[in-house]
Amino acid sequence: MKKIEKKVSRIGVLTSGGDAPGMNAAIRAVVRTGIYNELEVHGIMRGYQGLIEDDIMKLESRSVANIIQRGGTILKTARCKEFYDYEGRKKGYENLKKRGIDAMIIIGGDGSFRGAVKFSQEFNIPCIGIAGTIDKDIYGTDFTIGFDTAVNTAVEAIDKIRDTMDAHDRIFVIEVMGRDAGYIALHSGIATGAENILIPERKTDIDALVTGLQETKKRKKLVNLIVVAEGENFGGADEVQRKILKEIPTAEIRVCILGHIQRGGSPSCLDRLIASRMGYHSVECLIEGRYNVFVGIMNNKMHYIPLENAVKTKGKIGDEWLKIVKILAS
């Protein structure tokens, strides 16, 4: 972690990438911790897009009143192709410069952090990263803001689906979010007793899945729950259903895609707590002169790594989890 000599006086905070429940709690913590330490805090609307368009406003303590329980993000979020180019990033820097903003806190995922690393290297702006993503796929932290809420939303929905599944002796294929990471599928699947969990980190053996369903049918076990991450290599829930019906035409299968319901809703207590803690410590990092740092929590302690390390290394699902799935579903 590189040290800087200059003293930070004005902080810009933005949310970028996909929204996640708990982002508002992190914004609140950044603003109030900054003000407590006699720093100005400016909210940058719509992520890097707002940075380029100078859509920036000063935030006061009252600006973040009554938001800790709200999902989404009061600062909004957007994808910004212009920020991929140097000229776009330079526009953003000029907007910070004219306002005297000399540091940024980025709440988002690895794509947001990649942009922050490049921006900081080019213009010597201290940047702090806070993991706000429901996918829980950022290296260097046990928690990401939004994951706990998203997985509990999925569990609640799957529990309700299981009731009707049991009543009708059906196979349900339920698709949850996770384009590149299977943590939501893994955790919600284990928590709801899924017989099969399909994730991007492991190639789906669809033939083995079909064989397993045929064997359970012989044992007169007609209820089967299959939880699929959207980024699973076979093509998601619809393709899984198609393949099963091709091999077992008599199977009664229903597909349910939970979709963006997992992104919304009031954040859980855990998400509010970790967001508040990360937001507080992100400001403390800037006060202490830490540069390009990712703020995480590991073993219930604050954990800091260079921001570029959080970008280069992905969180991984261990073999033990997959063994648990196999044993508990048998």
pLDDT at residue 4, rounded to an integer: 45
What's the rounded Cα separation, in Å, for the pair 321 and 131?
23
Q: What pLDDT does residue 5 have?
A: 53
**Residues 6 or more apart whose Cβ sits within 8 Å of residue 90:** 122, 123
Q: Is 72 inside a domain boundary?
A: yes
Q: What is the pLDDT of residue 290?
A: 87
Whether the CB-CB separation of 126 and 292 falls below 8 Å is answered with yes
Q: Is residue 36 part of a domain?
A: yes
DSSP 8-state class, residue 8: P
Residues 11 and 137 in one domain: yes
Residue 3 confidence class, pLDDT cut points 50, 70, 90: very low
Q: Are residues 162 and 290 in the same domain?
A: no
Of residues 75 and 110, the one with the higher pLDDT is 75
Is residue 322 included in any domain, yes or no?
A: no
Q: What is the reported pLDDT for 1?
A: 44
Is residue 140 located within the same domain as residue 44?
yes
How far apart, in whole angstroms, are the C-alpha atoms of residue 143 and residue 147? 7
Residue 271 and residue 139 share a domain:
yes
Are residues 176 and 100 part of one domain? no
What's the pLDDT score for residue 6?
Answer: 65
User: For residue 200, what are the domain limits?
Assistant: 148-263
Say whether both 55 and 188 belong to one domain.
no
CB 43 within 8 A of CB 57: yes
Give phi and psi for 110, each to the nearest 5. Answer: -65, -35
Give the pLDDT confidence of 173-192 residue by residue, as tens digits: 999 999 888 999 999 999 99
Average pLDDT for residues 237-242, to the nearest whole number? 91
Tell me which residues are annotated as active site.
135
Give φ, ψ of 294 to 5 degrees: -100, 130
- Look at residue 327 and tell me if it is in a domain: no
Residue found under tokens 């198609």: 242
* Helix extents (H) in the chain: 23-36, 47-53, 86-99, 110-123, 147-168, 183-191, 206-218, 237-247, 269-288, 307-312, 319-328
What percent of the chain is predicted at pLDDT more than 70?
A: 94
Q: How many structural domains does the chain have? A: 2
pTM for the predicted model, two decimal places: 0.92
Task: Report the candidate in 138, 106, 140, 107 with the shortest Cα–Cα distance to residue 23.
Answer: 107
